[in-house]
Structure 1
């Protein structure tokens, strides 16, 4: 179905934007947005967070936004889907998958008058911008909540793969935990998959069997929280507020708030003032990306206040990876008065003191 994004009233909906400026990318026609989801819009995690952002964008702009679900990370399928959306008049395409990068790069070259944005992508260009959130900021706060809820100081974490964007969440989680309990330890299990409830259940069960009483996650499904609730322990969620799945267990969640980034970005595109970041955007908490949702009753009021104070500090510029920092072998990784640069964040392959990983 053809969906019209902007009409005459868009000047009010987009805060008075009515004319294009020569200092950025400019559309040739009225803006019409379409979104492409990797999985179902009700997957409970990653794609649902984008669909919830879409609803907020529709409210902000006063128009419906087209979307297509369950588009796999197969270049030919992505290209075919997006070509159809463009033929229907959509000229702002928002993708939601790392595996869309090659297709979006080719599409952007083929359609220089269309604006492309892609979450977790790696390709960028004059009309293409990839974006992702600094998830370590919100996971640091969830680590604080985990330590506050734990009676033993023994924490667990179920993650997909030891990639940089996963390792930075694990390390931040432990750094946050040690802000509350300097002796907290974090045992990590990698499943090898972003969304495999069977492996996630096995990992969470094994951690619980070893006396761990709070389990965090960087996997897509709510299985970790369900196991925590079944076992009478606690957990912290990822992607969305997992209290909807396990209200008794979940004490905090690292949640995506994509609308806080996408609404201003679309306004720039509509205004003709959009200048895609040449290396993509790594969004800070103050600009959208991620935030936290919680707290469960297991987090005492004084610790909730401490966590919220840290959140405020992060929004004001506190750096999670500020030195001095050493890895769990004692090797210096960030010197005093320095901050780990983004290029080193992306390739992080080490863990801080207190993190126990699979050998």
Structure 2
């Protein structure tokens, strides 16, 4: 997820209200959503707009690596442009330049593209638009994101298994629902391996700020954490973990690339697993985007895990993979009975947390300690 919001911004509340699971039923070019779906005029020609540099080490690089796989699967080259900020004045020219060259499928990669992509979709009703981590949807527009609480639950299990002290640290960006659900899931996974595990989280207030991430990781290690998790965009927490001789778990990509002696597990994106079949649906015609956006599980392309080469026994890996299979088979992480750290019931026995409640999650499970 990418945005420049800081905790307490009114924009954060706007974001929650406009989540993928808010009721977004739009019309395109004054015509209501057709029952027969959307069909391209001519063969598919795909372009991608990147939020950051393609080699940023995290979020954008995961999309670029998926692009290479998609090209191979579909047998065509995909145009792309890098470092397009979350501003309509930058997004529109980039998209329209591709469209003028014949692109009829445009893929975005940022939350902050949401409103502009909606405007573009209405202006160009014969072009299909997809947007990673977006919130707007329509007849020819679909936003998509993964259920990252699943993969962070599994990395939390790895952290709980690798920790000797039971004290885990977590460097996070902002206390939004999509971050809080990873923090909570991380602690819940850790408790599967060590019932006494705790997770102390520090929010940096930014998705990409290596200086703040370094300071947060150092502070957590100084407080006794011997495994550092993360939901920020750079590999800095993993690099600090390696420098300080502790373990870590990564986010976005396999961050053992940057810290091979520290990173035991990473929650990775597998965008190609979603985008390849979705692009094939668009090419086939009569495409019907999910009305509230695509919110994918592990088998649907919502992400997966990658083990590093250190810190975990084969027995621990087997337990984690067994839980991974259980999730694939339908296990829900946020199943009741579940209470928050104040003892308030959040999910009653026999129920699971709704998607709407996931997106607005503003509470923590027992064992999570929050700091600023």
Match of 2:256 among 239, 243, 246: 243
What CA deviation, in whole Å up to 9, does each residue of 1:319-349 have, x standing for no partner? 0000000000010000000000000000000
What CA deviation, in whole Å up to 9, does each residue of 1:196-222 have, x standing for no partner? 000000000001111110010000000
| Partner of residue 339, structure 2 | 326
CA contact (8 A) 2:133 2:145 kept: yes
Give the secondary structure class of the aligned counterpart of 2:322.
Answer: helix
What CA deviation, in whole Å up to 9, does each residue of 1:100-153 have, x standing for no partner? 011100000000000000011111000000000000000000000001100010
User: What is the CA distance between 1:23 and its match in structure 2?
Assistant: 3.2
CA distance in 1 between partners of 2:244 and 2:309 (Å): 16
CA distance in 1 between partners of 2:64 and 2:371 (Å): 35
Give the secondary structure class of the aligned counterpart of 1:296.
Answer: coil
CA contact (8 A) 1:76 1:103 kept: no
What CA deviation, in whole Å up to 9, does each residue of 1:228-251 have, x standing for no partner? 000000000000000100000000
What CA deviation, in whole Å up to 9, does each residue of 1:41-64 have, x standing for no partner? 000000000000000001001111
1:225 aligns with 2:238: yes
Structure 2 residue ranges without an equivalent (≥5): 1-34
User: What is the CA distance between 1:295 and its match in structure 2?
Assistant: 3.7
CA distance in 2 between partners of 1:119 and 1:167 (Å): 19
1:116 aligns with 2:125: no
| Partner of residue 26, structure 2 | none
Structure 1 residue ranges (4+ consecutive) displaced by more than 4 angstroms after TM superposition: none
Match of 1:159 among 166, 172, 180: 172
User: What is the CA distance between 1:296 and its match in structure 2?
Assistant: 3.3
Give the secondary structure class of the aligned counterpart of 1:29.
Answer: coil
Summarize the alignment of residues 2-81 of structure 1 with structure 2, pairs less than 5 Å apart.
23-81=36-94
CA distance in 2 between partners of 1:327 and 1:211 (Å): 24
CA contact (8 A) 1:295 1:304 kept: no
Give the secondary structure class of the aligned counterpart of 1:288.
Answer: helix
CA distance in 1 between partners of 2:104 and 2:349 (Å): 47
Return the TM-score normalized by structure 1. Answer: 0.93
| Partner of residue 9, structure 1 | none
CA distance in 1 between partners of 2:71 and 2:308 (Å): 29
CA distance in 1 between partners of 2:204 and 2:96 (Å): 35
Return the TM-score normalized by structure 2. Answer: 0.90
User: What is the CA distance between 1:286 and its match in structure 2?
Assistant: 1.0
CA contact (8 A) 1:251 1:299 kept: yes
Summarize the alignment of residues 193-342 of structure 1 with structure 2, pairs less than 5 Å apart.
193-342=206-355
Q: Report the count of equivalent residues.
A: 339
CA contact (8 A) 2:262 2:310 kept: no
CA contact (8 A) 2:337 2:345 kept: yes
Summarize the alignment of residues 48-197 of structure 1 with structure 2, pairs less than 5 Å apart.
48-197=61-210
CA contact (8 A) 2:263 2:310 kept: no
CA contact (8 A) 1:232 1:249 kept: yes
CA distance in 1 between partners of 2:163 and 2:179 (Å): 22
CA contact (8 A) 2:248 2:265 kept: yes
CA distance in 2 between partners of 1:38 and 1:232 (Å): 33
CA contact (8 A) 2:256 2:308 kept: no
Give the secondary structure class of the aligned counterpart of 2:303.
Answer: strand
